[in-house]
Amino acid sequence: MNYYNVDQDDAITQPGGKVARYARGRDYHRVMKRRMRRLVLQLTVELGDEFAARWYVDDGPMLDRAAAARAGLGWFGKNGNILTPTLGSWVLLGQIITDLPLVPDQPLVKTCGQCSRCIPSCPTDAIVAPYVVDNRRCISFLTIEHDGVIPIELRSAMGNLVFGCDICQEICPVNRKALATEDANFGRRDLSSLDLIELLEMTEQEFRQRFAGTPIMRAGWLGMRRNACIALGNSGDRAAAPALRSALHDPAAMVRQHAAWALGMVGGEAAREALNAAMATEADLRARDEIQLALGKEGSERI
């Protein structure tokens, strides 16, 4: 399913937190499964119910990308994504597994050839070799699936990305000719760039109300506030210091850790005062280490 939504604001440097294109709308798992179910029901009406079928989106017994490549839908790009001839990699994959006799399509012979633009474009060097992605460094994994502390050495490279990453897709020449989707389930402008301070200060209830039914729920309330801290730190905006100072007293140690790092990146007297005050009361050892690093006690010169 095509999810490529064209947003003119993408050409402008956004002060807020950027969200990957596929997540700017409704949860695609639900959308695709409903459509695949309708397709199976339609086939049942036309062919009779003498066949079995199951449909899956990211939760089936086979790897979606491998099945798509074998079915001739596209070929593996060097960033690990499936590239299709008309939609590039701006596609969401699903599977219908059935015992219905079908004539198989042949895999495509097309490849990326000598092109490797996606590899150096990755800011965290997650594409360690052609067709090999180290998910521990991938911004999509870090901002969505990873539920812990994000390594300090990767934070600066994450920029203002708070949910997913499209960089290796945006640089891909195949994607330049991709057709934009007309599907209303994708392309909500209010999800393309999130207010970072608002995101950081949201209660869990507010988070659920704002993002219910969207893929952003997958990262969770704590994960998105952690991501907001990193983006605020990378912004260097000292106006974020009051919100980050409040986050230094968050009940979650993970949020406090990333808020300390962000204040160290923002710098200024207000940030220093906030960090010194937090050091006097902080009991979590990892959070204390982050505060010390931000204050420069371990050789950092951010403040």
Question: Regarding beta strands 82-83 and 75-76, do their DSSP bridges make them parallel or antiparallel, or are they unpaired?
Answer: antiparallel
Q: Are 199 and 222 in contact (CB under 8 A)?
A: no
Pick the catalytic residue: 9, 49, 58, 125?
58
Q: How far is it, in rounded angstroms, from Cα 8 to Cα 111?
A: 30
**Category of 18 on φ-ψ map: left (φ > 0), alpha (ψ -120 to 50) or beta:** beta
Q: Which two tokens stand for residue 101?
A: 């006799």
Nearest to 190 by CA among 216, 169, 166: 216
Please give the Cα distance from 294 to 276 (Å, whole number): 10
Gyration radius of the chain over CA positions: 22
Cα–Cα distance measured from residue 147 to residue 49, given in angstroms and rounded to the nearest whole number: 43
Show Cβ contacts of residue 105 under 8 Å, excluding neighbours closer than 6 positions: 71, 72
CA distance 254 to 223: 9
Asked whether the beta carbons of 302 and 267 are under 8 A apart, the reply is yes
**58 an active-site residue?**
yes
Please calculate the CA angle 262-231-124 and round it to the nearest 5 degrees.
100
Phi, psi torsion values for 174, nearest 5 degrees: -60, -35
Buried b (16+ CB within 10 A) or exposed e, 202-225: beeeebeebbeebbbbbbebbbbb
The catalytic site residues sit at: 58
